[in-house]
Structure 1
Amino acid sequence: MRLGYSLGYWSAGPPPHALETVLAAERLGFDSVWTSEAYGSDAFTPLAWWGSRTTSVRLGTAIAQISARTPTATAMAALTLDHLSGGRFVLGLGASGPQVVEGWYGAPYPRPLARTREFVAIVRQVLAREAPVTFAGDFYDLPLPGDQGMGLGKPLKPTVHPLRADLPIHLAAEGPRNVALSAEIADGWLPMFYSPRMDDEYRALLAEGFAARTDGRDPAGFEVVAPVPVVLADSVEAAADQVRPFVALYAGGMGAKGANFHRNVLDRLGYSAVCDEIQAHYLAGDKARAAAAVPVELVRDVALVGTPDDVRAQLPAWRATTITTLVVQGDPRTLPAVAELLRDA
């Protein structure tokens, strides 16, 4: 199981000491570093800026939102970063949720799976560069039909020759159908709130997706790149306190009531009643009570927390999962200790 590090998306500004963290991750032998975007910083620019100082660590978006750019613009950014990094870029894509898509991008959200399928198909056409890109779908038309514009659109292929036609595309997915879709059309899966308790179910969903593949790609190279909070402290409770606000944000505040896909993952883990309480406090504006309502059992299901001995005791269950890269979420100052612990245990 390889190690990655998540830089996430920015809060009010750039994360402090981010470049030093990226360089430390590479020096410590981490396989990859990952950025993301919500409705502030974008996922591509930080990778180009910080990644320019690296030579071996892979650079991935986890995630770039498909509503933020057209498929061809996304492919342009991906092939550009892949050239600049010498073939180290990984394109992680996700549909986000209706609040962001319709509120920030002003685009309709329904049928995100079908939209994702079309999006990935167009990106792959651009990267293959075998012919001018054409597509006629429910969401994307290339070229634009003549009755919708000036009628002058023509099929084009990128002027730049992509460094890798098989540049890896990963999908962020949480619902069962989305997980299966990632195995069907992508090269990797970016889960959220992965828990070893769900491993058998996830393996079955991935197998369903592999069985539906029609492009001949070998499932043996498929990656499961899971972000996991890792917090070292004097006790499990003290470490869990650092993860509780994160869980409360995603279970209670990320997404509308009744349309929160992050919360749905925790529902499937058996925490529906807990999530009701978390969400009620969060939507009432009481973030502290929302965090306090997150039980330590939930934290331990989706995170590695506690003393080094506590974490060592949890690791065998994680190593037995289908995860291929564990992406550490945590204080960058603890990166050396976390790297040593996760490698040696």
Structure 2
Amino acid sequence: MTKLKLGLQLGYWGALCPGENHTQLAQEAEKLGFDSVWTAESWGNDCFTPLSWIGAQTSRIRLGTSVAQLSARTPTACAMATLALDALSGGRMILGLGVSGPQVVEGWYGQPYSKPVTRTREYVDIIRKVLAREAPVTSDGEFYPLPYEGPGSWGMGKPLKPITHPLRADVPIFIGAEGPRNVAQTARIADGWLPLYYSPYRQEVYADQLVDAPEGFEISPTVMVFINDNLEEALYPVKAMLGFYIGGMGSAKRNFHKELMGRMGFPDEAEEIQRLFLEGRRDEGVATVPDQFADEISLCGPKERIREKLQDWEKSPVTSLLINGDQQMLRDMAELVL
């Protein structure tokens, strides 16, 4: 059985900056023995700035991006941010990466969403070359050629290696992957995986994709936790999240979250949820989310029920649970897990 670790998932900001609240939560998590704290980005705040702010006000907890979007910066720029934050924090950085989706990549970053698996592999390869600092960095890849010699080039590009010596050449790289090919590649090229949904009761969904995972490979899903004696009330926010992701994100043509729910055993329900959301019937879409699915990927209900469910997570390949909540929630989960 796996001895589970806990991570604090702060996600991305909403309409307003969370101010000192996120820092205080991270400091409390560190006191309680949490292993890591994670920040995210969408089309609002970036992930590195708040993580560096938190890192300056903590001393031991690992600092992860969950996730840094590939299209937001070139791989060398991402490696520079990683190098800097790892050095300033004394070697606490975890670089979590993800391709995002076509709506964000093409609508926000103005780049084509093509060959995400290939693009991820090139991106990781360049970052590892930068951090290794063994030679000037070159790449003959399709998406990130170094030096660049394409249209508009002056033909003066020179292979470079970072001026600053990285504190660690082996900063852990995690990837937020959903599709089967991306998950399988993650097991081969990364140090960890950040699943969006994971069910310890359906390990067969990912088993074939993880066969190449090396020893020490970390699996850190975000798991929603709601402690409430009323299970129906506890599950509602999980169902609301699932309804929005499965029905309201992506498009009618392609929604990776909906496809994942289908692979996890609920294809008909996923189709119906999307149909209802696209028709503007959101409440009905949320109600259509199966309680079973919401329950399997979360920890909901009375404390004792959650304690029993944690035994099922410990029997899975999962190494860390990334959770969000107030300080009392963090204390309750530290008591249950740590």
Q: Please give the TM-score of this superposition, normalised by the length of structure 2.
A: 0.95
Structure 1: segments with no counterpart, 5+ residues: 211-218
Task: Say yes or no: does 1:80 pair with 2:75.
Answer: no
Cα distance in 1, alignment partners of residues 39 and 192 from structure 2: 16
Task: Say yes or no: does 1:38 pair with 2:37.
Answer: no
Say which of 177, 182, 185 aligns to 2:181. 177
Find the residue that maps to 2:196 and give its secondary structure.
coil
Task: Say yes or no: does 1:140 pair with 2:144.
Answer: yes
Aligned twin of 1:341: 336
Find the residue that maps to 2:254 and give its secondary structure.
coil
Aligned twin of 1:285: 280
Find the residue that maps to 2:84 and give its secondary structure.
helix
Say which of 78, 85, 94 aligns to 1:90. 94
Amino acid in the other structure paired with 2:119: R
Structure 1 residue 331, shift from structure 2 partner: 4.2
Relative distance call for 1:123 and 1:290 in structure 2 (3 A) is same
Within a 5 Å distance, the mapping from 1:64-143 to structure 2 comes to 64-143=68-147
Structure 2: segments with no counterpart, 5+ residues: none
Task: Say yes or no: does 1:316 pair with 2:290.
Answer: no
Aligned twin of 2:16: 13
Q: Percent identity?
A: 51
Task: Say yes or no: does 1:154 pair with 2:158.
Answer: yes
Say which of 323, 329, 337 aligns to 1:328. 323
Relative distance call for 1:42 and 1:146 in structure 2 (3 A) is closer
Higher RCO structure (Cα 8 Å, ≥6 apart) = 2
Structure 1 residue 332, shift from structure 2 partner: 4.5
Task: Say yes or no: does 1:198 pair with 2:202.
Answer: yes
Structure 1 residue 248, shift from structure 2 partner: 1.1
Find the residue that maps to 2:63 and give its secondary structure.
strand
Cα distance in 1, alignment partners of residues 203 and 96 from structure 2: 21
Cα distance in 2, alignment partners of residues 287 and 13 from structure 1: 24
Amino acid in the other structure paired with 1:12: A
Relative distance call for 1:98 and 1:240 in structure 2 (3 A) is same
- Preserved CA contact (<8 Å) 1:231 1:331: no
Structure 1 residue 58, shift from structure 2 partner: 0.3
Aligned residue pairs total: 334
Q: How far does the alpha carbon of each residue in 1:178-212 deviate from its partner, in whole angstroms, 9 at most, with x for none? A: 111011111111111101122234233111x34xx
- Preserved CA contact (<8 Å) 2:205 2:263: no
Relative distance call for 1:147 and 1:6 in structure 2 (3 A) is closer
- Preserved CA contact (<8 Å) 1:146 1:153: no
Cα distance in 1, alignment partners of residues 98 and 32 from structure 2: 29
Structure 1 residue 144, shift from structure 2 partner: 1.0
Find the residue that maps to 2:71 and give its secondary structure.
coil
Cα distance in 2, alignment partners of residues 73 and 325 from structure 1: 28
Q: How far does the alpha carbon of each residue in 1:234-255 deviate from its partner, in whole angstroms, 9 at most, with x for none? A: 2211100121211111111221
**Please, what is the CA RMSD of the aligned residues?**
1.4
Cα distance in 2, alignment partners of residues 51 and 169 from structure 1: 18
Structure 1 residue 301, shift from structure 2 partner: 1.4
Cα distance in 2, alignment partners of residues 2 and 158 from structure 1: 34
- Preserved CA contact (<8 Å) 2:172 2:191: yes
Relative distance call for 1:147 and 1:338 in structure 2 (3 A) is closer
Cα distance in 2, alignment partners of residues 154 and 94 from structure 1: 28
What stretches of structure 1 move > 4 A for 4+ residues in a row? none
Aligned twin of 2:224: 229
Relative distance call for 1:264 and 1:329 in structure 2 (3 A) is farther
